[in-house]
A and B are shown apart, each in its own frame.
Chain A
Amino acid sequence: MNLKDKLVSSFLAFDDYLEDSSPIHDIRNKAIKIFENKGFPTKKEEAWKYTSLNPIVNKDYSIFPKKESSIEFKDVKRFFLHDIDTYKIVFIDGIYSSYLSETIHDNMDICLLSAALKKPKYRAVIEVYYNKIAENDSLTSLNTAFAKEGAYIYIPKHKEVEKPIEIINFATGNEAALMMQPRNLIVVGENAHVQIIERHQSLSENAVFTNSVTEIFAEKRAYIDYYKIQNDASNASLIDNTYIKQEEESHCSVHTFSFGGNLTRNNLKFYQHGEHCDSTLKGITIIENKQHVDHSTLVRHIAPNCESHQDYKGLYADSSTGVFNGKIVVEKDAQKTNAFQQNNNILIDDKATINAKPQLEIFADDVKCSHGCTIGQFNEDALFYIRTRGIAKKEAQALLMYAFANTVLESVKIPELKVRINKLIAKKIGVSIGFNI
């Protein structure tokens, strides 16, 4: 049985055990029908022209893990930002691990979606926000149909969350192949501030396929900084669907660091509903071998006087492939929009490829939009210059890589995270010098 059929037929069993009164019962039933109709996207669709899911969806995944697994903190400590205090929402094979987590319910909720979906006191929030900006494309719908667990974060107005929140999804490898569909709901109230780090981490070489959906709501003057660390094992693939709705004067940034994994697709969509919003979308991709990373971004400017800044850097070695599909839409009321997009790529080897496609759709007349896309190799003159100062070729390349990626790194607001990412980059490119630029 192929994966689509397997999913559709398991849905019946899955849905059976849900209470009829669940507020998301209908949402799920509609969603599975959409997925059943559309199936997995294929390269025939414009949005999936350069990313094929075939090699991934042809495996026989377990959809529900058979047993609960536990892991020791010491074995996974390195995946946490352990040098500072954080809130933690941790899942193991899709199941919440209270042992590894550190949640809170005091004047804010940093906890589980499963609890929020069940308990009546959350019902009002679920009704207002759940599945309200997620789209109904086939993969998001698939997630919506099966969603039952993930992070639930509700920060009430004027609350500044004093430490970052880590959302980590571990896969143990207890199943030969595992499919997971985490679902996160994040609501940040008026003038509230929060920093979130999200990570998917497989602990074995067994196949993992994650289809994740995150909905983020930034109310008036809310500040959200979201960091995605994609440094997974070589047999783990990720489809990340993240939707962000911004109200007046809110500031949201998403930084995506894609170094690991097999196939990674980031669908990142920003909707600016209020005036004077600021959206930042940045990413560094450093991949090798046959890795594939696809960034599909959308910024929809709906209200006037808003800004968006996109800056994606990519370094591709061996026969790795990259895709950057960046779309900016400026609707007719969105006058005085400033929208910037930058995508720079370096192909380290001849066999590496990048497909970059900026798209601008502008329906307002008084706007400033710019986009720039470059694809190149290392500057030989710069390499020679650095090497004459006693810095070996590999380190010289590394220095140029750091310099190249620095416009993205410099806006990471958690110093410990920045150090961590620096180290990941150094490790990824095999140098031992920390440049700390």
Chain B
Amino acid sequence: MLKVKNLHASVDDKEILKGVNLEVNAGEVHAIMGPNGSGKSTLAAIIAGKDTFEVTQGEITFNGEDISELDPEERAHKGIFLSFQYPVEIPGVSVTNFIKTAIKETRRANEEEDMPASEFLKLIKEKADLLAIDRKFLSRSLNEGFSGGEKKRNEIFQMAMMNPKLSIMDETDSGLDIDALKIVAKGVNKLKNKDNAILVITHYQRLLEHLVPDFVHILIDGIIVKTGTKELAYELEEKGYDWIKEEVKT
């Protein structure tokens, strides 16, 4: 589904990604872990189409198509979704209306019929229930004054509503309390199927207990230095990153 080959990216002549290779197939869950500032969010944002980063080398394909020249919205139309590490506050736009517009515009771009209002309402109810979101919440301004955990849960709610093919979850777990983490993980598991894929960025093993990855990648200083299975996450939790850094040096 997603293929990232030898991706180099920089901002203001500072190289952040230094040759990332990553392949995510339908039905898989991948986790990316790595120290602060190693480039995880940068990678996620570049896949989603952020153009403040300059891709200097390499390529990104999605279902066989080169997407590196596409706008963020065009990537979204193809089914790429980014759950932000820091969701942006948009005062004056309600959660419901935002999602309604997002679905409408995506359908329009894909030359699909508008979603009937009744179907939309049903979907909203279903997904809000799935993520245990109070309906009152949905009429509030998008992310404005939301607590850290509420913002994250709202990201996953949008994800559930948009039903993407590739979901990139950038540190969705930071900010969520223990119960909320379980609810969100359960919700994401429900959305998972053989046709879609999930890329989770996390610092902690906890989320991965509920959302079990097929692969765990370690990104250090702009490069994936190690790929393993879920056991690698446990190892990191115990030992930190130093041993990997040592391993890489030698």
Contact = CB atoms under 8 A, between A and B. Distances in A.
B98 interface: yes
Contact of A433 (B91, B101, B106): B101
A419 to B, nearest CB: 15
B72 interface: yes
A389 B158 contact: yes
Nearest to B92: A403
Interface string A369-413: 000000000011110111111111101100110111011000000
B84 interface: yes
Nearest to B83: A388
Nearest to A379: B88
Given A379-B88, A395-B105, A388 B71 contact: no
A388 B91 CA distance: 18
Contact of B81 (A388, A402, A404, A406): A388
Nearest to A398: B101
A387 B101 contact: no
Contacts of A407: 92
B104 to A, nearest CB: 7
A381 B87 CA distance: 9
Contacts of B92: 402-404, 406-407, 437
A395 B84 CA distance: 20
A435 interface: yes
Given A388-B72, A389-B162, A399 B87 contact: no
A381 B88 contact: yes
A154 to B, nearest CB: 39
A437 B105 contact: no
A436 interface: yes
A385 B88 CA distance: 7
A53 B52 CA distance: 43
A393 B73 contact: yes
Contact of B50 (A384, A386, A435): A384
Contact of B73 (A379, A381, A391, A437): A391
A interface, size bucket: 20 to 34
Contact of B104 (A386, A403, A404, A433): A433
A393 B93 CA distance: 16
B132 interface: no
Given A389-B162, A390-B102, A437-B97, A384 B90 contact: no
Contact of B48 (A388, A391, A404, A433): A388
B186 to A, nearest CB: 23
A389 B90 contact: no
Contacts of B52: 380
A435 B76 contact: no
Interface string B38-79: 000000010011101000000000000000000111011100
A391 B105 contact: yes
Nearest to B78: A390
Contact of A388 (B49, B89, B90): B49
B71 A436 contact: no
Nearest to B72: A387
A381 B50 CA distance: 9
B200 interface: no
Main secondary structure of the interface of B (DSSP, over half): helix
B174 interface: no
Contacts of B104: 433
**Residue in A386, A396, A433 whose Cβ sees the most chain B Cβ within 10 Å:** A386
B123 interface: no
A306 to B, nearest CB: 28
B109 interface: yes
A390 B88 contact: no
A382 B102 CA distance: 14
Given A384-B72, A389-B162, A399 B84 contact: no
A404 B73 CA distance: 22
Interface in A335-350: none
B82 interface: yes
**Residue in B90, B103, B109, B158 whose Cβ sees the most chain A Cβ within 10 Å:** B90
Contact of A390 (B84, B90, B93, B105): B105
A385 B50 CA distance: 9
Contacts of A400: 90
A375 to B, nearest CB: 18
A387 B81 CA distance: 10
Contacts of B82: 388
Contacts of B45: 384
B179 to A, nearest CB: 27
A433 B73 CA distance: 16
Given A386-B90, A387-B71, A435 B97 contact: yes
A396 B45 CA distance: 18
Contacts of B81: 388
Contacts of B80: 388
A86 B75 CA distance: 48
A402 B162 CA distance: 23
A399 B50 contact: no
Contacts of A387: 49, 71-73, 76
A387 to B, nearest CB: 4
13 contacts: A379-B88, A382-B90, A385-B84, A387-B49, A388-B49, A388-B72, A389-B73, A391-B105, A393-B73, A399-B98, A400-B90, A403-B92, A437-B94
Given A381-B88, A433-B104, 8 more contacts: A384-B45, A388-B48, A390-B77, A390-B103, A391-B73, A399-B93, A400-B90, A437-B92
